[in-house]
Chains A and B, each alone.
Chain A
Amino acid sequence: MQRRWYTAGAIIAGLAMVATACTGGTGGGGGTTKGEIIVASDQPTSGGDASDGIPAQNGIQFAVEQAGSIKGFKLTFKGWDDTVNGNHDPQKGAQNIQEMIADAKILGMVGPNNSNVARAMIPIANRASFVMISAANTNECLTQTFPYCEADTGTTPAKLRPNGVNNYFRIAAADTFQGPAAADYAVDTLKATKVAVWSDNETFGKGVADKFSTELQKKGGTVVVRQDFDTKTTNDWKPFLTDAKNKGAQAIYAGATSGTKICIPRAQMKGILDVPYMVPDGGVNAQCIKDAAESAANMYGTVAAADANQNPDAIGRAIDANGGNLPSREQVRKAVSETKNFKGTTGTYTFDPNGDPTSPTMAIFQTKGSPLDWVFVKQFGVGG
């Protein structure tokens, strides 16, 4: 729950910043005689995800309307809903993006909210060189090629981009950044250099645990124990925890989700060792606090922090590139891909060739307070 207001808040604040910057860039507004440019959005604004989708859409609309005009073009907003039967729907997303592409005035869109919807939209938009910027998709296989992507998601970044050029960008940190962010926080803030790591042996869990270990070693830390469990049949983590204690672990990192018992070992730490317990976003929820029982305090979780889109900024540069005339979609796409050192509220962004931010922002949440809950403590740029 904590994540939602936080994400939505970041989008609105960030978009406001972008809008202000763009208005300044137009030299005090100027005329709007050259025509109309529309920025679209695709969000789940009804159904179960509406608590994410509505604030996001409002934020995008606010930013676009705040900007008002750009280099003589009137800037307007149009929103689409990708919900069907109360749930975000990839097919609806695909239909939405076809409608957007059919409207020549729409030069780009912000969204979607969900990675599986993005997977359906990207190829359609790619054929039309139509630029997409998401503030919320975190699945790494949307932009990066890993051996497991085909098996896990049924597709690869290359297959998603039949044109061969990238049209999809995101400000949210991919899941691959969660492990490194936790390792940075462990070493820099918690001063824990000896860490015991376990994973649920699944794609996500083992992935974050491996990347945590790599970053920890890069920062001079040591993985004192490493285990991968079949969590369907494992009930007892005490041998692992005792091993960790004997080898002087100063923190435990768990690569898993609530569905794979991520915080059950936390409860079993009672009486064995009392050190911080770190989890990826799959554990940052109420179930984890319940599972950790009496040991629920002093857990740390990483969550991808979302920031604004750079669309209006890039459209402005595309107009410049076209000598002040209405730019083509390809020119907008190129301008977005060339975004460098764009200042958002949560950090400064540059896109890499995959469409990922080079230094995405991750947020750290900690369990504290009474009643215990996940509380935002810090955010910082990772990598870059």
Chain B
Amino acid sequence: MVGSLKQARVAFVEAPIGRLVNLLVILAVLYVIFILATKILAQGPSYFLQILTYGVANGAIYALVALGYTMVYGIIELINFAHGDLFTLGGFISLFLLPIFGADASKAGTAGIILPLIAVFLVTMLICGAINVSIERVAYRPLRRAPRLAPLITAVGMSFVLEGLMFLWKGPFNLPYPNLLPTTGIAIGGATIGLKDIFVIALAAILMVVLALFVSRSTLGKAMRATAQDQDATELMGIDINRTIAATFFIGAVLAGAGGTIFGLYYNTLVFDLGFSAGLFAFTAAVFGGIGNIQGAALGGLLIGLITAMWDGYMESTWTQVIIFAILILVLVFRPTGLLGMRVPEK
């Protein structure tokens, strides 16, 4: 399959019309890079650093959501469309929990903010995990041996169910999310790196490193990798694949719950249909990096965040999405398996 694709691509590239198209694409890319570079030089280094910070912080949030898509795809080859909405639900749940755990923006320090925030994070992550495991049990597990399209459609369905529930719960409006993080920052070379940005980037990085270690070192992580390679053989080895898949959904949702909470703390606003666009970009990030590949999802998320911030900061934001998807198309044309390659076995 891959071989014939490669041949077709080589044939296209070698045909005269293919060469012309390639040349035009390369010229267009060089032109865009040239314009961007001129603008970056004109605006100075401190502005660049500032935009870079926003891009990395945004990218960190996309990466957390992208991990959920990529893990689920890696293990059962399902695009879990409900994942973006689970991310939003994480934000909604944490918003609900904040006053219960006594988080209060007017009280600074350990008792008012730090301890309640830790509790909110943990409980939100657990609740999201439990919800996602239930969704898997109800909507995906019965369809595991069904044609590929069936669970895809139930995933779309679950996405609408979650959106509908959030709509019923809080209505159609933007919800204010309390601003609990310090709004001060560290001045570096004319740019201000906000403590908020640092918090988001650091927390996302910690979660991703823990996840990567878990998947590569722990027994359950090994079981996940085995299930991804061959479910039947794994089952023959005495591994409970239902439990392993449920654990994958749980971990993905834990990250989405954390992501939703981080999003609320960072942007101080939530809306019930946030998951649609956030999910779309996160899924794109997963494909970007190589779906099924955990490091790839992190890299893809980071890149989408950076491209968005750079384009919004230097060029016309009307074209931001066009650029993201144009880059995605280019990457996939030259590397169909994404930047870091798919970790999905040949079947």
The interface of chain A, by Cβ under 8 A from chain B, is: 201, 227-230, 232-236, 238-240, 242-243, 246, 258, 261, 264, 267-268, 270-271, 287, 290-291, 293-294
Q: Complex: how many Å from CA A20 to CA B267? A: 55
- Asked if B7 lies at the interface with its beta carbon under 8 angstroms from chain A, I say no
Interface membership of chain B positions 255-270, coded 1 if the CB is closer than 8 angstroms to chain A and 0 otherwise: 0000000010001110
Residues in chain A near residue B313, CB distance under 8 A: 239-240, 242-243
B174 touches A261 (CB 8 A): yes
B346 within 8 A of A: no
Q: Is B309 an interface residue (CB 8 A)?
A: yes
Measured in the bound complex, the distance between the Cα atoms of B54 and A280 in whole Å is 28
Residue pair B54, A238 in contact (C-beta under 8 Å): yes
- B321 CB contact (under 8 Å) in A227, A230, A267: A230
Q: Is B22 an interface residue (CB 8 A)?
A: no
B192 interface residue (CB < 8 Å to A):
yes
A239 to B39, CA, bound (A): 14
Q: Which of A240, A267, A270 contacts B269 (CB 8 A)?
A: A267
**Interface-located stretch among B43-51, B122-130, B135-143, B203-211:** B43-51
Give 10 nearest A-B pairs by CB, closest first: A239-B313, A239-B312, A233-B277, A228-B318, A227-B317, A238-B54, A271-B183, A229-B317, A239-B309, A291-B174
Cβ of A227 and Cβ of B268 under 8 Å apart? no
Given contact pairs A227-B317, A240-B317, A232 touches B277 in the complex (Cβ within 8 A): yes
Residues of A within 8 A of B174 (CB): 258, 261, 264, 287, 290-291
Most chain B C-beta atoms within 10 Å of own C-beta, residue among A235, A271, A291, A294: A235
Which residue from A229, A242, A290 sits with its C-beta under 8 Å from B51? A242
Report whether B194 and A236 are in contact in the complex, using a CB–CB cutoff of 8 Å.
no
Bound together, the chains give a CA A202 to CA B337 distance in angstroms of 37
Residues of A within 8 A of B308 (CB): 236
A240 vs B318: C-alpha distance when bound (angstroms): 12
**B→A interface (CB under 8 Å):** 43, 47, 50-51, 54, 58, 173-174, 176, 179, 183-185, 192, 194, 263, 267-269, 274, 276-278, 280-281, 308-310, 312-313, 316-318, 320-321
Q: How far is the CA of A267 from the CA of B268 in the complex (A)?
A: 8
A291 to B179, CA, bound (A): 12
Whether A236 pairs with B58 at a CB distance below 8 angstroms is yes
Which of B51, B176, B194, B276 lies at the interface centre, i.e. has the most chain A CB atoms within 10 A of its CB? B176
CA distance A201 to B320 in the complex (A): 13
Max chain B Cβ within 10 angstroms of own Cβ: one of A201, A232, A236: A236
Q: How many A-B residue pairs have CB under 8 A?
A: 82
| Nearest B-chain residue to A206, judged by Cβ | B318
11 inter-chain pairs at a CB distance below 8 angstroms, sorted by A residue, are A229-B318, A234-B312, A234-B320, A235-B278, A236-B308, A238-B54, A240-B317, A242-B50, A264-B267, A290-B174, A291-B269
Q: Do A293 and B185 touch (CB < 8 A)?
A: no
Contact of B47 with A242 in the complex, beta carbons under 8 Å? yes
| CB of A266 to closest CB in B, whole Å | 11
CB distance from B45 to the nearest CB of A (A): 12
| Cα–Cα distance between A261 and B173 once the two chains are bound (Å) | 10
Expressed in whole angstroms, the minimum distance between the Cβ of B55 and any Cβ of chain A is 8
Known interface pairs A235-B267, A236-B54, A236-B267. Does A293 touch B316 (Cβ–Cβ under 8 Å)?
no
Q: Given A201-B318, A293-B268, does the pair A287, B50 have CB atoms closer than 8 Å?
A: no
Given A236-B309, A238-B54, A290 contacting B267 (CB threshold 8 A): no
Q: Known contacts A236-B308, A239-B312; is A293 also within 8 Å of B43 by CB?
A: no
Q: Which A residue's beta carbon lies closest to that of B277? A: A233
B173 near A240 (CB under 8 angstroms)?
A: no
Is the beta-carbon distance between B183 and A236 smaller than 8 angstroms? no
With the chains together, A230 CA to B281 CA distance in Å? 14
With A290-B174, A294-B179 known, 6 other A-B pairs at CB within 8 A are: A233-B321, A236-B54, A238-B54, A246-B43, A261-B174, A290-B173
Task: Tell me the smallest distance from the CB of B184 to a CB of chain A, in Å.
Answer: 8
- Give A199's nearest chain B residue, CB to CB: B318
Q: How far is the CB of B248 from chain A (nearest CB, A)?
A: 28
A240 near B277: Cβ-Cβ < 8 Å = no
B43 to chain A: closest residue by CB = A246
| Neighbouring B residues of A287 by C-beta, 8 Å | 173-174
Q: Write the nearest CB–CB distance from A335 to chain B, whole angstroms.
A: 47
Closest beta carbon of chain B to A15's beta carbon, Å = 36
In the complex, chain A residues whose CB is within 8 Å of the CB of B268: 267, 293
Give Cα distance in the complex from A341 to B185, angstroms. Answer: 57
Question: Is B185 a contact partner of A271 (Cβ separation < 8 A)?
Answer: yes
Contact A293 B176 (CB under 8 A): yes
Give complex CA distance A268, B194 in Å: 12
Task: Name the contact of B312 in the complex, choosing from A227, A261, A267, A290 (C-beta under 8 A).
Answer: A227
Chain B residues with CB under 8 Å of A228's CB are 316-318
Q: How far is the CA of A261 from the CA of B267 in the complex (A)?
A: 12
Chain A residues positioned under 8 Å from B276 (CB to CB): 232
Instruction: Return the chain B residue nearest A261 by Cβ.
Output: B174
Interchain CA distance A268-B192 in the complex, whole Å: 14
B43 touches A240 (CB 8 A): no
Are A271 and B317 in contact (CB-based, < 8 A)? no
Interfacial chain B residues near A268, Cβ < 8 Å: 267
Residues on A with beta carbons closer than 8 Å to the beta carbon of B312: 227, 229, 234, 236, 239-240
B58 partner residues in chain A, CB cutoff 8 A? 235-236
Q: How far is the CA of A238 from the CA of B194 in the complex (A)?
A: 12
A287 to B318, CA, bound (A): 25
CA distance A338 to B318 in the complex (A): 44
Chain A hits for B320, CB < 8 A: 230, 234
Contacts of A235 in B (CB 8 A): 58, 263, 267, 274, 278
- Nearest A-chain residue to B313, judged by Cβ: A239
A242–B313 Cα distance when bound, in Å, is 8
Q: Does A291 lie within 8 Å of B316, measured CB to CB?
A: no
Query: Which residues from B are CB-within-8-Å of A227?
Result: 312, 316-318
Q: Is the CB of A271 within 8 A of B269?
A: no
Give A238 to B50 CA distance when docked, in angstroms. 9
Nearest A residue to B309 via CB reads A239
Contact B47 A246 (CB under 8 A): yes
Could you tell me the distance in whole angstroms from the C-beta of A215 to the nearest C-beta in chain B?
22
A372 to B47, CA, bound (A): 34
- Chain A residue contacts of B43, Cβ below 8 A: 243, 246
CA distance A159 to B22 in the complex (A): 49
How many angstroms between the C-alpha atoms of A286 and B316 in the bound complex? 30
- Which chain B residues lie closer than 8 Å to A236 at the CB level? 54, 58, 267, 308-309, 312
Max count, chain A CB within 10 A of own CB: residue among B281, B310, B312: B312
Q: How far is the CA of A154 from the CA of B320 in the complex (A)?
A: 31
